[in-house]
């Protein structure tokens, strides 16, 4: 009887260990859906990065607020279920608040990573890739698309000149 219990125990243990696979955990290093990387440049000297002081960015139809205190680079998420995302860029200058609205237009492409991580979304910027929704520009002079495909966060996708 003791041998039967011992065999039953080892049989269950071996069946349990066969069911577990190494790829059941999504590693932290695995990149998921990328954010759009934006850099700010000087409109007078377009090759020079120009940090922005105290801007706030809020997504239209979202409660998510990004605040940038002093930086020339930022990352913004794009919606995965829509073909466009709008952001309002607020800048506080001389006790006045200026705002510009930019809409990013794109198509999405879902890419399978693996069983544990699932899918990530890649964005292919449409034509036009970005447009100003604001009727009059307040602090952003213009922008330039540097990369038409947002597939990683290793390169800058959009340059904003101010």
pLDDT band at 7 (very low <50, low <70, confident <90, very high): low
Mean pLDDT of the chain: 84
Torsions phi, psi for 72 (to 5 deg): -105, 5
CA distance linking residue 42 with residue 49, whole number of Å: 6
Per-residue pLDDT at 21 exceeds 60: no
Exposure class string for 126-151: b at 16+ Cβ within 10 A, else e: eeebbeeeeeeeebbeebeeeeeebb
Q: Domain ranges for the chain, please list them.
A: 25-161
At 76 the pLDDT is: 92
C-alpha 1: how far from chain center:
61
At 18 the pLDDT is: 58
CA distance linking residue 131 with residue 20, whole number of Å: 49
At 17 the pLDDT is: 55
Per-residue pLDDT at 64 exceeds 80: no
Please state, for a pLDDT cut of 90, what percent of the chain lies above it. Answer: 48
At 56 the pLDDT is: 87
Strand intervals (E) in 62-95: 65-71, 73-76, 84-93
The secondary element (H helix, E strand) that includes residue 14 is helix 2-19
CA distance linking residue 152 with residue 150, whole number of Å: 6
Helical residues (DSSP H) of 92-151, grouped into ranges: none
- What tens digit of pLDDT does each residue of 33-50 get? 999 999 999 999 999 999
At 1 the pLDDT is: 59
92 vs 139, more confident: 139
CA dihedral 87, 93, 95, 97 (to 10 degrees): -20
- What tens digit of pLDDT does each residue of 79-138 get? 999 999 999 998 887 778 888 999 999 999 999 988 888 999 999 999 999 999 877 768
Give the residue among 36, 40, 107, 125 at the shortest CA–CA distance from 76: 36
Interior angle at CA 111, CA 105 and CA 116, nearest 5: 130
At 111 the pLDDT is: 94
Per-residue pLDDT at 3 exceeds 70: no
Per-residue pLDDT at 4 exceeds 80: no
Residue carrying structure tokens 């009727």: 135
């Amino acid at each position: 009887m003791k041998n039967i219990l011992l065999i039953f125990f080892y049989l269950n243990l071996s069946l349990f260990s066969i069911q577990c696979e190494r790829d059941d955990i999504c590693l932290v290093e695995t990149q998921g859906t990328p954010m759009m990387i934006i850099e700010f440049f000087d409109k007078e000297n377009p090759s020079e990065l120009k940090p922005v002081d105290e801007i706030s960015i809020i997504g239209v139809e979202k409660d998510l607020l990004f605040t940038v205190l002093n930086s020339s680079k930022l990352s913004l998420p794009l919606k995965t279920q829509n073909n466009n995302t709008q952001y309002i860029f607020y800048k506080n200058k001389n006790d006045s608040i200026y705002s510009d609205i930019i809409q990013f237009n794109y198509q999405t492409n879902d890419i399978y990573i693996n069983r544990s991580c699932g899918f990530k979304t890649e964005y292919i910027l449409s034509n036009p890739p970005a447009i100003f929704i604001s009727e009059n520009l307040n602090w952003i002079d213009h922008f330039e698309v540097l990369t038409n495909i947002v597939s990683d966060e290793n390169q800058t996708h959009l340059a904003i000149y101010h």
